[in-house]
Amino acid sequence: MGNAQLHSIHVHPVKAFRGQSPREAEVEPWGLAGDRRWVLIDDGGKVVTQREQPRMALAAAEILSGGSLRLSAEGREPVSVPVPEPIGTTTVQIFGDKVEAVLADPAAHAWCSGYLGADVRLVHMDDPATRRPVDPEFALPGETVNFADGYPLLVTALGSLDALNSLIAQGDHADEGPLPMNRFRPNVVVSGTDAWAEDDWSRIAIGEVTFRVTKMSGRCVVTTTDQDTAARGKEPLRTLARHRRFAGRLIFGQNLVPESRGTLRVGDPVTVLG
């Protein structure tokens, strides 16, 4: 781990949309600043992701000043979305959790619905410090999370991706590889580690910020979605099922909970603390 460092940072302002790759990012208790504070819901309040709508991968979300958004997609005029006033909230259903969030303005709903060809609404998490607790089985009292699948940050490693791509090349869908890291939609990507070294981490530091490593990341059909075309294949789930199955889940990456605030910068050293 002497050469391990932060290779890249990824912030996804709208869950399931294409994100940004800044050179640095602030770590807040519930995740990277600006990450997954917005999400689409259907007419019943259930979160909509690439699981149901793979074309979400082709829509981009950019954070503007004050936390507002610019949404864009090929063939559509971009739209700016201000942060809504927290006058009233609506209930969002996300993986068994019920979370209060604030509806964006009607122009945002219209843009997103028109793009996907489905009735959806865009909502904003106004107060991530109180809205959604982390799974208490893996959390300390008071720890919260944004609209991520379950934990504030996801870390993946280039060494593990290289190993996975080698396994894919030996399988029956070799033509689908090698896969890029964006299939796994991480927040932070680490270089300079051995393949699968992250399996054994329990606590790490990235630069000035420390994290608790809480739980292996179980992977779903989103990983089979090409983030540049929205086409779906079989990999990496076919290979993960053969080589990376733990307790019935297909594993790639680790979930993190911050122990401190601070700034992450590309090139920061990564240190295993436990």
Give the pLDDT confidence of 200-250 residue by residue, as tens digits.
999 999 999 999 999 999 999 999 999 999 999 999 999 999 999 999 999
Q: Write the pLDDT tens digit of every residue in 22-74.
A: 999 999 999 999 999 999 999 999 999 999 999 999 999 999 988 999 999 99
Tokens of 164: 């996975």
Q: Is the model's pTM score more than 0.85?
A: yes
Given this model, what pLDDT does residue 2 score?
A: 73
Given this model, what pLDDT does residue 1 score?
A: 64
* DSSP-assigned letters across all residues of 91-159: EEEETTEEEEEEE--HHHHHHHHHHHTS--EEEE-S-TTTS-BPPTTS--TT-B--SSSSSSEEEEEHH
Residue 81 has pLDDT above 80, yes or no: yes
Q: Are 221 and 232 spatial neighbours (Cβ–Cβ below 8 Å)? A: yes
Quick one: pLDDT band at residue 98, thresholds 50, 70, 90? very high
Q: Write the pLDDT tens digit of every residue in 130-185.
A: 999 999 999 999 999 999 999 999 999 999 999 999 999 999 999 999 999 999 99
Q: Are 154 and 254 spatial neighbours (Cβ–Cβ below 8 Å)? A: yes
84 DSSP assignment: P
Quick one: pLDDT band at residue 88, thresholds 50, 70, 90? confident
